Copies of this chain bind each other. A is one copy, B any other.
C-alpha cells in the first residue's frame, strides 16, 4: 500500500501510527504537539509540517482526534483533509464522535470523490499499545475491505457494522452499556456493604450467574478495594455519554437509563474524579448514600 497520512498523535494515535510504521507502512503524521511528532519519527514515521503536508499524496488517511469539533476543523474546514487529498483517497476517521458528524464527513467526502469510513475503537490506551483494539466500522463494504489490512495492524476484533455512522452508533451503544453496568455494580456494592454483607463474597455469586459480566469479571476486586487507577477515565466516558445522548436524539429514540447514567458519570466528573477509572462511578453512588468514608 502507498503512503499513509495520520492526523492526531495522542495517547491512542501515537501507538497506532507506530504500529503502522513498524509494519513497514510509509506513515506521514501530524499533531500540534511537537513531542508527539518526535515520537512518530522515533518509531520510523515521518513528522509532517501540517495537516496538508501529512496527507499530501496519501492513499489512505487516518484521523484519531478528541471530539467532533477537532474532526470538523481538521477534516471539513477550508484547507483540511478533504481539501488536501486527491479524489479516490480513503479517509478512515477513527475518532469517537457523534454519528451525525461522521455522516456529514462522509457526505462532504462523497461530494469530492473521497471515500470515508467511521471506525471508532474500544480497548483504550492498553489496547492501542498492545495492538488489541476492537474496531467498529461504518461505511461501504468495498472501502472496509481496503482499510481492513491496516486495521489489522493494531486491531484484534474488526467488524463492519453498517453504513456511514454505524461505527459510531455501535460505539455509543457499547459505552452506554459499559457506563450503566458500572453504575449497577456500584449500586450492588453499596447495598451489600451497607447491609453488612461482604461485597467480595456477594459479587463472586453475582459474577457466576445471570448477573455476570465482563466488568464483574475484570473489575470487581479493584472496585471493592477502591482502586481506581485508569484504565479509561471518567472524563472520557463523560464525553462518550454525550455522544450516546446525541446519537439517541439523532435517531429519535428515548433512552431513560442512558439519560440517568449520563448524569451519574457527569457527577463523577463534577465531584473531581474525572481522571480516575470509570469504575469510580462507585464513588458517586457512595456519596449519594453518605458513605464517602468507605474511600481508601
Contacts and interface: CB of A to CB of B under 8 A. Distances in A.
Given A173-B188, A191-B247, A253 B157 contact: no
Contacts of A169: 191-192, 195, 197, 202
Given A161-B205, A169-B202, A210-B178, A255 B287 contact: no
A260 interface: yes
Interface stretch (A11-19, A20-28, A85-93, A179-187): A179-187
A33 interface: no
Given A134-B209, A209-B123, A264-B256, A191 B248 contact: yes
Contacts of A206: 170, 173-174, 177
Given A136-B205, A188-B173, A288 B267 contact: yes
Interface in A211-269: 211-215, 218, 242, 244-245, 247-264, 266-267, 269
Interface of A: 99, 122-123, 134, 136, 157, 159, 161-163, 165-166, 169-170, 172-178, 180-181, 183-185, 187-188, 190-192, 194-198, 201-202, 204-206, 208-215, 218, 242, 244-245, 247-264, 266-267, 269-272, 284-285, 287-291
A263 B255 contact: yes
A174 B213 CA distance: 12
Contact of A162 (B185, B201, B266): B201
B254 A263 contact: yes
A195 B246 CA distance: 12
A56 to B, nearest CB: 26
Contact of A257 (B211, B244, B254, B260): B260
Given A157-B208, A169-B195, A169-B202, A256 B288 contact: yes
Given A169-B202, A208-B134, A195 B266 contact: no
